[in-house]
């Protein structure tokens, strides 16, 4: 089943068109705060936004723990 706005079909499986549009709008608004992002880093920003939006990161310590390679850098400093 495809999305067909002319026939008022706006949902396919768990994805509702308005949910997709709302997520895209929130993501673009959040991304604008960085004043430009290189496309090669876009997957990193998507992952960061997903973690923030899902409530997985609630403290600054959680943010540092989620950074790639943070354990390696901390171990090298000792």
In terms of Cα–Cα distance, which of 29, 27, 73 is closest to 47?
Answer: 27
Q: What confidence category does residue 58 fall into, taking pLDDT thresholds of 50, 70 and 90?
A: confident
Q: Would you place residue 62 in the very low, low, confident or very high pLDDT band (cuts 50, 70, 90)?
A: confident
For the whole model, what pTM was predicted?
Answer: 0.50
pLDDT of residue 56: 74
Q: How far apart are CA 77 and CA 54, in angstroms?
A: 32
To the nearest whole number, what is the mean pLDDT of the chain?
Answer: 72
């Amino acid at each position: 089943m495809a999305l067909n706005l002319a026939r008022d079909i706006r949902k396919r499986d768990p994805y509702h068109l308005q949910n997709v549009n709302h997520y895209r709008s929130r993501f673009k608004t959040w991304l604008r705060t960085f004043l430009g992002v290189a496309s090669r880093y876009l997957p990193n920003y998507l992952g960061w936004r997903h973690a923030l939006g899902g409530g997985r990161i609630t403290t600054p310590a959680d943010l540092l723990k989620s950074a790639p390679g943070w354990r390696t850098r901390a171990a090298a400093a000792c």
